[in-house]
Structure 1
């Protein structure tokens, strides 16, 4: 390490020559300032002014834990002096928590000396290098929680082991790295990332916050808020078995597309011979089939462009905005036919015997998947049609044909209907009953 830098670092630590800044933290769900993160800068016009260079130098000199503790002390003191409202986020490197010379209770002492309520303080984990001893860090986090602190995971998506720490530590709050926030209103990949984080956080009861939102574009926070609302709404109305959006989000999506008056295709997926299978093998095996169908849909359909829903029972729906929807559906049908036999528990030919609705014993062949598609074109009069009725027509035609089949029903551009011919999947199997 350069002798001049080491001497400068020593002088900075000994003289506490550090400047504290505070950055507002926004709560994505409420769009309000949730608190402030304490940031540190070294002496101006020196090589240690940048926090990255400062902490790199401290790491090389073996003084990271010492510097980290000093930063905490100064941030807490300055927060109290400014009487800032809300929460105080204190960056803590996990390495300092498991340092052999670390003494318990030091952070709490700083807080008590400054007159800050411990419930205002959130310990924010920040990684400057990989965390090798997760168990020791877990113990430290338990200790902090017992003292009344909450724990946040800093800059999710940027650190060495952020996702692993999230699963191991189970923080109260996660902060999305600013890389994924900047330009998110224009970048679908970033939207997917943020959407996935929000979905996971909702399931775990975890708050999501962000920094770097001072873009001058109100659209950014609005977009994040809309993503959050969508995830919460879908979770509230999700099917409990498959966790896919249920009837309320499905209807909301259809109404949205009708208002926009754009072309889209609604595909209704319905299992053939599912009831006999369910009666023969039991509800647990039947649930496996439903989850299998939902996984097929999720694996093949881009839910950032299209929509997947579970109406209930063995009825699923996909609302396509993408133009290659037919190829996607035919691929799903092929994959279904290739794999469904594995759920028949070795029955030869996947043939089972059970009673029908009238109590008569019958023989049923392997399940197939029928898809009725309704193609909707932009027009002025579609608000007057009953889309469920049109879908029922398409699904009825699909189920009347043998095998796993797609039937396409195109709505006319004027108030009379023209049915398109069937477009069956490449693989077919016979069936004897619905």
Structure 2
């Protein structure tokens, strides 16, 4: 029997005997680890010469039975989802793979109706048609019309395998999908491939601009997941998150916890200096080995793991030494290197002169220590400990990436005149204080009579006055506290301590002395300047002073940022009504 005939016979047996089952793989939010929905994947239930689903669908296309196979797979998926939900409505998103040419077929349009879905308890808005860009669309204009038809009935559209073909961007532009699924080959090794990283980063920017949700397929390692969370990809699926299963499942609990922790770290970066972020925030647990392990075994471990950069030699939690891949291979090179050392314990070759830091060491301090090492050790990984016990490692790449990320994020939201954090970072800092349920104070600083000064002395001198106040605010700020520039002559300090009122008094006292240098001697002697008021009439204006309004919250009295800022605005207004330097405190 010819191979083609055998394939056709097996294909017919699968379709006619309904030898298809559905397995489900969750599509997981990279914000909180919850499941957006599940992709329905078809699997064969009988032994045949057809090896995998790809070959099955190819054979169906060549045998003119693609419609029959798609109908069987689709119906099985809907039935199985219904049964998995214990005959109740499946309330999440169900992703169904559909060949675009089948979707454009009149039989599909006539058969896939809202009435058809009712028997399975699924609403149209919970159905997502996955259209792969690997399949060429015979009639693009007609297909676009079909897509619009289904969008109009509240069905959603996803472009599958984006990045696998050469016309994906055209397809995205033509049908404007709700979701884009990035091909697994684009995700594979993204943590160590700059080109893949840059491509996905550009897709994230595209999705944000176009309002399209991005889903990364084929996530198989922790590092891939970490990279995708850092990039801002919204959703992901893959074996690392959860394997396909006949039961409808969510991501593994450990993965959910990891995603939540990664997002917590990411939020912590916003508005934070590198001196305030501990190295534990970017530390990753890596494999450890005992000191008695043979050199040959360690060599095999490193050789078989392309992602491994080395390992730590640990005994009873203490790090005795490290093995870096490049140095280790160098030690075993040469004519007799490997045969000479292969049966020795790894402690014989491990490096005992390595950089180790405690988990509470700030990132910038670690960076300085790492860059101070000898040239031959400059790019070795860093060991992180907690109370002297092994916690994990940090690579130089991770360290530089995080430091750069902090700088870029902060620069994006800094006030261009003073370099202080702007409104976005101020709001974020206040929200952090509201969430932590510890005592904190928020202080608003405003320059009195600033407009009159600007009118008389000019904008350049006015900018210098603003920068003076920024300097004074920073000079007197307690360690690890926050000051931001709202804009104009308004500033906000946020302190997680109770020393706010004393801080105000120091700032106002220092500023009162230093501001006099920004006036000519006659104006200082007069104690006022003459300028036009808002009605165009000339009048006397007192010298610049500071109005401060502060709130000390010991008992979490404010439920949200809006409530707090409204109270702060009321206090500011009261403070501005007083002449000269003033502090209003609550």
Query: Structure 2-normalised TM-score?
Result: 0.40
| Contact kept? 1:26, 1:33, Cα under 8 Å | yes
1:149 to 149, 155, 177: 155
SS at match of 1:152: strand
Q: Does 1:221 align with 2:230?
A: no
CA distance in 2, matches of 1:42, 1:160: 30
Q: Does 1:81 align with 2:83?
A: yes
The correspondence of residues 254-293 of structure 1 with structure 2, limited to 5 A, is 259-261=363-365, 262=367
Partner of residue 9, structure 2: 7
Moved more, 95-104 or 78-87: 95-104
| Cα distance change on mapping 1:131 and 1:28 into 2, 3 Å | farther
SS at match of 1:114: coil
The correspondence of residues 290-301 of structure 1 with structure 2, limited to 5 A, is none
| Cα distance change on mapping 1:153 and 1:197 into 2, 3 Å | same
| Cα distance change on mapping 1:27 and 1:250 into 2, 3 Å | closer
SS at match of 2:68: helix
1:163 to 162, 169, 185: 169
Q: Does 1:129 align with 2:135?
A: yes
Partner of residue 101, structure 2: 95
CA distance in 2, matches of 1:125, 1:70: 17
1:188 to 194, 204, 211: 194
Partner of residue 205, structure 1: 211
| Contact kept? 1:58, 1:64, Cα under 8 Å | yes
**In the TM superposition, what is the alpha-carbon distance from 1:11 to its structure 2 partner?**
2.3
Partner of residue 520, structure 2: none
**In the TM superposition, what is the alpha-carbon distance from 1:249 to its structure 2 partner?**
8.2
**In the TM superposition, what is the alpha-carbon distance from 1:113 to its structure 2 partner?**
1.7
Aligned Cα RMSD in Å?
3.9
**In the TM superposition, what is the alpha-carbon distance from 1:99 to its structure 2 partner?**
3.2
Q: Does 1:60 align with 2:164?
A: no
What is the CA deviation profile of residues 68-123 of structure 1, one whole-angstrom value per residue up to 9, with x for unaligned ones? 22211111111111016621101111011223654434254442221212222111
| Cα distance change on mapping 1:190 and 1:253 into 2, 3 Å | farther
CA distance in 2, matches of 1:133, 1:229: 32
Partner of residue 17, structure 1: 19
SS at match of 2:7: helix
| Cα distance change on mapping 1:159 and 1:66 into 2, 3 Å | farther
Partner of residue 104, structure 1: 110
| Contact kept? 2:214, 2:233, Cα under 8 Å | no
CA distance in 2, matches of 1:60, 1:125: 19
Moved more, 12-21 or 52-61: 12-21
| Cα distance change on mapping 1:113 and 1:250 into 2, 3 Å | closer
Moved more, 199-208 or 159-168: 159-168
Partner of residue 53, structure 2: 51
SS at match of 2:11: helix
Partner of residue 183, structure 2: 177
**In the TM superposition, what is the alpha-carbon distance from 1:183 to its structure 2 partner?**
2.4
| Contact kept? 1:93, 1:128, Cα under 8 Å | no
CA distance in 1, matches of 2:160, 2:76: 20
SS at match of 1:2: helix
CA distance in 2, matches of 1:19, 1:119: 24
Identify unmatched segments of 5+ residues in structure 1.
231-247, 264-303, 314-357, 359-382, 385-434
CA distance in 2, matches of 1:49, 1:110: 32
CA distance in 2, matches of 1:10, 1:88: 27
Moved more, 89-98 or 131-140: 131-140
Moved more, 164-173 or 254-263: 254-263
CA distance in 2, matches of 1:209, 1:175: 5
Identify unmatched segments of 5+ residues in structure 2.
235-268, 280-361, 369-402, 417-457, 459-478, 481-586
Partner of residue 26, structure 1: 28
Tell which structure's C-alpha radius of gyration is larger.
Answer: 2
**In the TM superposition, what is the alpha-carbon distance from 1:197 to its structure 2 partner?**
0.9
What is the CA deviation profile of residues 141-200 of structure 1, one whole-angstrom value per residue up to 9, with x for unaligned ones? 111112221111112111352221111111111111122223222322222122111111
- What is the number of equivalent residue pairs in this alignment? 267
| Contact kept? 1:35, 1:88, Cα under 8 Å | yes
1:40 to 39, 42, 57: 42
| Contact kept? 1:27, 1:208, Cα under 8 Å | no
The correspondence of residues 242-391 of structure 1 with structure 2, limited to 5 A, is 259-261=363-365, 262=367
| Cα distance change on mapping 1:136 and 1:27 into 2, 3 Å | farther
| Contact kept? 1:76, 1:110, Cα under 8 Å | no
Query: Structure 1-normalised TM-score?
Result: 0.52
CA distance in 2, matches of 1:4, 1:101: 29
